[in-house]
Structure 1
Amino acid sequence: MLGQVGKLGPKYNEWVTSPVDRQLRLFRSDFLEYLTITPWYVVPMIWIPVITYLAVIGTKKYIHITKDASPFIPVALSISEGILLWTLIEYSLHRWVFHIEPSGKSKLMIYFHFAIHGLHHKVPFDSRRLVFPPFPAAVIAFSIFKLTSFFFADCTHLLVIAGGLLGYVIYDMIHFYLHHGAPQESSYLYHLKRYHNQHHFAHHNNGFGISSVFWDNIFGTALHLRKLAIGIKW
């Protein structure tokens, strides 16, 4: 499929936002195809040990530098800062990178858009493509690690990164659940599922928050869900 989307030209944007309920194959090669498929459980399996390691090493480093024998509160605050930072990164990537609209004249931009996010809008129920593959996630994590080193103190930097990665894992698990789960009416996840469905099937250029709608409210891209007389049974 990836080799064909460039032929759509100006029709690409309309085509990619018209979802279908089936699986999608990107590559003819079985090996390349395998690299693009990520079961949901791979995300916590890979990243939770990394988060634990960073949190432990970061806490030891904080104690060593500050000589604080009771670091629970500052450690918890630093991890919370990382989680909050992730929600902003989540929103920013989704809005300004994943939802860039490629010109119909640029096949390269069409290929890029489809590979990073367009395919998810085309086949939103393909359970194999709902979480981020480990390799590109690691590239983004490393870039954020280097960038945040300029903004956070050396004694808390690892803790902030641990929090950011924790926020990412929570986001990916929520995203998978919003597509395949059945949250109870009036719950937070029920609201998020309705919200995310509106983004996919009605308002593609709004509602970029997935694990939280906080930044949508800040940047004016929030979706306003109408009150339903009867709750939805997923």
Structure 2
Amino acid sequence: MANGTHSSASAVPSSPDAPKIKMCPKITSILEFLLRAVFIANSLLQNRNQMDRNTGDLVALRCSAVSSATFNVADSTARICGEPPLADCFFIDSQGAVMSRKIAMVEPTSHSQQIQLFNNRWLERCTVITPVGFAVTWAVLIPLLVWLAWSSSSVTGAEASLLGLGGLLFWFVFEYGMHRWVFHWKPDHRLLQSFVFIMHGNHHAEPNDPLRNLMPPVASIPITGSVWLVFLALFGAAGTWAFVGFIIGYVIYDMLHYACHQWPMKSKVWLPFKKHHMRHHFGVNEGNYAISGLVLDRMLGTRVDSLKAPVAQG
């Protein structure tokens, strides 16, 4: 859950009839500088959330994400993405002896309430993002996308608005589909199980980790960038307008998801969103897949009405 959003356009296959999108080298350099600044700022903000390590018997703790494949595959309940796999954890006792034990991957690491997914600290940093880092990232990228859409296509304002609205509506369908069929996929292969846990299962194991309630750019940019390529293939350069609407939908979704976990949301407008999502986490995992487009759960028969109720049909 990389920051090279501007490179997605260059990945579009070129042909004599295909529209070509050219970016000024200065714009590319500025974009790279801004994204590096966002990464550095996000890292500094993460350091403010670090917990003090236990200075007693547990001096050092290392958890291997690769060992997530060690949990019992025959146990069907362990394959639910909300169940954390076991990890090989090593620590040094007060005499300096190296000890090991099996634990669920729910030990806090340098980040509050956080499950460690990777040994490599740089990979681990890429799996988290602060609200400020998220806001800065998309406050930079969305205006750049609008500028690129405006400068690379010749559609009218009405056409651009319709494409943007279409992209926004498509986001709701995409969000539901990704959550239901990808993030809650139950593969039999252990490596795929590890992939699902890294992508989403860890969120069910620790739902209120504030640094993992927003999708980090290392995941969001490749996923959304693939949709951008599809829009470009379908609509040419004007497809970037549809992508702008799609990205706006994504940002609304992720901010709403963060709010559901971190804010009270007691008003009549926002409380239904929070209840809907909390029933997904603490009621029936296999339901209430929508975060922003709640009507889709009703339409597709996956709505959960209470913490104890079965999935509503129809």
TM-score by length of 1: 0.82
Is 1:41 aligned to 2:132, yes or no? yes
> What's 1:13 paired with?
79
1:115 to 1:128, Cα distance in 2 relative to 1, 3 A: same
1:15, CA displacement in angstroms? Answer: 8.2
- Pick one of 148, 155, 168 that aligns with 2:231: 148
- The alignment partner of 1:75 has SS state of helix
2:169 corresponds to? 84
Post-superposition shift, 1:80? Answer: 1.6
Which residue of structure 2 lines up, in the alignment, with residue 193 of structure 1?
Answer: 274
CA displacement at 1:147 relative to structure 2: 1.3
Query: How far 1:119 sits from its partner (Å)?
Result: 0.4
| Larger proportion of strand | 2
> What is the correspondence of 1:1-234 to structure 2 with a 5 Å cutoff?
1=63, 2-10=65-73, 11=75, 12-13=78-79, 16-17=82-83, 22-62=113-153, 65-66=154-155, 68=156, 71=157, 73-103=158-188, 106-152=189-235, 154=236, 156-187=238-269, 189-225=270-306
In 1: Cα distance, 2:67 partner to 2:148 partner: 47
Shift of 1:171: 0.8
Which ranges of 4 or more aligned residues in structure 1 deviate by more than 4 Å? 17-21
Q: RMSD of the alignment, in Å?
A: 2.4
Question: Relative contact order (C-alpha < 8 Å, sep 6+): which is higher?
Answer: 1
* Farther off after superposition, 211-220 or 126-135: 211-220
User: Following the alignment from structure 2 to structure 1, what is the Cα–Cα distance between the partners of residues 246 and 139?
Assistant: 12
Instruction: Report how far residue 121 of structure 1 moved.
Output: 0.5
Deviations 1:137-157 (A, max 9, x none): 1111221111122333x3631
Instruction: Give the Cα separation in 2 of the matches to 1:93 and 1:14.
Output: 16
Contact 1:78 1:163 in 2 (8 A): yes
Query: C-alpha deviations, 1:103-137, integer Å up to 9, x for none?
Result: 2xx22122111111110000001111111111221
Give, as a single letter, the amino acid of the residue that structure 2 aligns with 1:74.
E
- The runs of 5 or more residues in structure 1 that have no matched partner are 227-234
Q: CA–CA distance in 1 between the matches of 2:68 and 2:224? A: 29
Secondary structure of 1:120 counterpart: helix
3-state secondary structure, aligned to 2:225: helix
**CA separation of 1:15/1:146 partners in 2, compared to 1, >3 Å: closer, same or farther?**
closer
| Percent identical residues | 27
Tell me, which stretches of 5 or more residues in structure 2 are unaligned?
Answer: 1-62, 85-103, 308-314
**Secondary structure at the residue paired with 1:4?**
helix
Provide the TM-score with structure 2 as the length reference. Answer: 0.63
**Cα–Cα, structure 1 residues 113 and 155, in superposed 2: closer, same or farther, change >3 Å?**
closer
Tell me the distance in 1 between the aligned counterparts of 2:123 and 2:136. Answer: 22
